[in-house]
Amino acid sequence: MSPIRINYWAEGATDRAAARKMISHAGGEPGADYSGRRRASPGKDYLDQRIASFNSAAHFSPWFVLRDSDGECAAGLATQLLAQPAEKMCLRIVVPTIEAWLLADREAFAINLAVAADRLPTDPEGIANVKGCMMELARRSRSRAVREDLLPDPRSGRRVGPGYAQFLIQFINDSWRPLRAATNAPSLDRAMMRLATLVTSSH
């Protein structure tokens, strides 16, 4: 039996990499990436405008959509965006941003970041400023390359360094295990269970 192909949309390149890994680990196969299509713009505003059409498509084929909560109530935001999800729609809210789900795979992330595992938060979804947490961890890294990639030049005015996104994407592709991370991230755990149900019901 061939894997179930699941179309997907996510806010940015890091989120899209996470979506693909999550689909694969739930037993599906990543389908069309609608966030990377021509005329598709990154960010939640584009999603909020297009979610109804994605939901219409999910009456016929499986869909997975990721959106950051950015401090809003995840359940309330999901209902606000989509009061009546189609049978094959899996809309999940990331609490608060995708970095929290990556930090939840504590030992793997610590190895990649070259810091002690006990420095990583035990409740990453409870951190208000996840990027700030990432920067603090990067400052403690034993790896000069990690520090140079992740930490911004103080004169740049940027929040993160030039290699930040690529570092996270490589971690997702090579080391991140969503099911392992889900033990430390309740919203990720719910997302993986819903994805698994979507795969099973679509066969």
For the segment 15-40, what is each residue's pLDDT rounded down to a tens digit? 999 999 999 999 999 999 998 765 65
Are 12 and 75 contained in the same domain? yes
Are 71 and 109 contained in the same domain? no
Q: Which domain holds residue 32?
A: 5-95+185-202
Are 18 and 90 contained in the same domain? yes
Does 80 fall in a domain? Answer: yes
Q: Residue 11's pLDDT is what?
A: 87
Does 180 fall in a domain? Answer: no
Does residue 42 carry a pLDDT above 90?
no
Q: Look up the pTM and report it.
A: 0.94
Domain count, the chain: 2
Are 79 and 136 contained in the same domain? no
Structure tokens at 102: 């990556």
Residue-wise pLDDT tens digits, 83-102? 999 999 999 999 999 999 99
Are 91 and 112 contained in the same domain? no
Helices (H) and strands (E) in the chain, counts: 10, 4
CA dist 151 and 32 (Å) reads 33
CA dist 33 and 19 (Å) reads 10
- At 41, the pLDDT band (50, 70, 90 cuts) reads low
Are 91 and 191 contained in the same domain? yes
Instruction: Return contacts of 135-142, CB within 8 angstroms, 24+ apart.
Output: 135/159, 135/160, 137/113, 138/113, 140/115, 141/113, 141/114, 141/115, 142/114, 142/115
